[in-house]
Amino acid sequence: MQSPIFIGSEIYCNSTYGSKHPLAIPRVSTVIDLCRALGWLTPENYRVSPCAKPSALETFHTPDYIAALQKAEQDQYVSDETRERYALGTLSNPVFPEMYRRPATAAGGSMLAAELIRDGGIVFNPAGGTHHGLADRANGFCYLNDPVLAIRTLLNSGLDRVVYIDIDAHHCDGVEAAFHGSTNLRMISMHEARRWPLTGTLDDDAGGAAFNLPVARGLNDDEFSAIMDELILPATAAFKPQAIVLQCGADAVTEDPLSRLTLSSSSHWNAVAALKELAPRFLVLGGGGYNPWSVGRLWTGVWATLNGFYIPDRLDTDTQTILRALTWNRSAGRNPPPHWLDTLRDAPNFGPIQEELKQDLRRLTARISR
């Protein structure tokens, strides 16, 4: 099999959602810098993400929404009517200079990824994973929905069994809405209970297409292992997927400011390693993640895991320099702990498996063989 491909773009270094937005932090640019410093990116395994054209985006999004998004970028202004109708120009989805081009580049990357793995392979698009985007409006920091666009590209290329797994701290409401009742797409989402967008309850099966597991705050690595072993891996394997799409949001790790889940990076890396074996095509996307050190370190380790690169316990001085240069306008950012600077790996967070989680897993796993 061809070696894994990393999809990136300079646009993630040179644009921002505005200084007060949780996504004002550098994310993909840090991953690229860290991977380069570690010798993990080469001209052969790196592709520049194309900016998707409106016609490509309209395989999921409505033409009037795409036109409104382009016009908002051009005008750098939205009317009250546009704000109301398309949720553009809000606190979550502000007007900013690249508000079409940046999400359209992430979406173009995910659609390119789906094309690149048509005959098999592995692609990582860390700028992807915008799982809240709706067909006709922005939602939850997402202007477009690149997972849906990538999955549609895979299905349109002739595949009919794709599994989408989402381990972001938030429920993938946009993806679920797009594939409600689908028999070609199985969706498996683990997300923090009672957190925005409050969808994805245990009983919500999206017309048979989805397994939704809301989890309590404080989720630990042992609990995540149980979720992998009892739900995610068997439900994926039972669908006999021709392709797997993993949304690997970095906001379920312990030091993220927008969730109360407490996984270590090993949980995500183990998930990537295990899922890689279950289908001939594997697309890994980013997602949430609002602590610049957590995101950069986690996704750099995801890339290493996809390639089988050895992750050193302690980073060399040049690589540490990248992490030392990061800033964050939160109190934790003023005095980062040593492990944010000298290693990719978090300390493991082992712990007991809560009884409620065991019960919820039993409820869901009973559906797997049906």
Which active-site residues does the annotation give? 132
- Report the site for Zn ion in 170-189 (rule: CB under 5 A): 170
Site for Zn ion in 260-279 (CB under 5 A): none
133 binds Zn ion (CB under 5 A): no
Q: Which of 21, 99, 30 lies closest to 66 in space, CA to CA?
A: 99
Task: Give min distance, CB of 290 to Zn ion, in A.
Answer: 8
| Residues in binding contact with Zn ion, number by CB under 5 A | 6
To the nearest whole angstrom, how small is the minimum distance from the Cβ of residue 315 to Zn ion?
26
Q: Reduced to 3 states, what is the DSSP secondary structure of residue 288?
A: coil
Please report whether residue 147 would count as binding Zn ion according to CB under 5 A: no
Cα(97)–Cα(12) distance, rounded to whole angstroms?
12
Both structure tokens of 20: 């007060």
Q: What is the x/- site pattern for Zn ion, positions 277-296, by CB under 5 A?
A: -----------x--------
- Taking residue 356's Cβ as centre, other Cβ atoms within 10 Å add up to 11
Q: Does 132 bind Zn ion (CB under 5 A)?
A: no
Q: Measured from the CB atom, is 155 or 246 closer to Zn ion?
A: 246
**Does 168 interact with Zn ion (rule: CB under 5 A)?**
yes
129 near Zn ion (CB under 5 A):
no
Query: Considering the rule CB under 5 A, would residue 251 count as an interface residue with Zn ion?
Result: yes
Residue 73: CB partners within 8 Å, gap ≥ 6? 95, 97, 98, 99, 100, 101
| 249 binds Zn ion per the rule CB under 5 A | yes
To Zn ion, the closest distance from the beta carbon of 22 in angstroms equals 10
* Residues 25/120, Cβ–Cβ less than 8 Å: no
Sign of the CA dihedral 9, 275, 115, 285? negative
| Residue number with CB closer to Zn ion (170 or 297) | 170
Other C-beta atoms lying within 10 Å of the C-beta of residue 329: 10
Q: Is 166 in the site for Zn ion (CB under 5 A)?
A: no
- Backbone torsion region of residue 203, taken as left when φ is above 0, otherwise alpha when ψ lies between -120 and 50, otherwise beta: alpha
Residue 314 has what DSSP assignment? S
Q: Could you say whether residue 256 binds Zn ion (CB under 5 A)?
A: no
Binding of Zn ion at residue 297 (CB under 5 A)? no
Residue ranges that bind Zn ion, judged by CB under 5 A = 168-170, 249, 251, 288
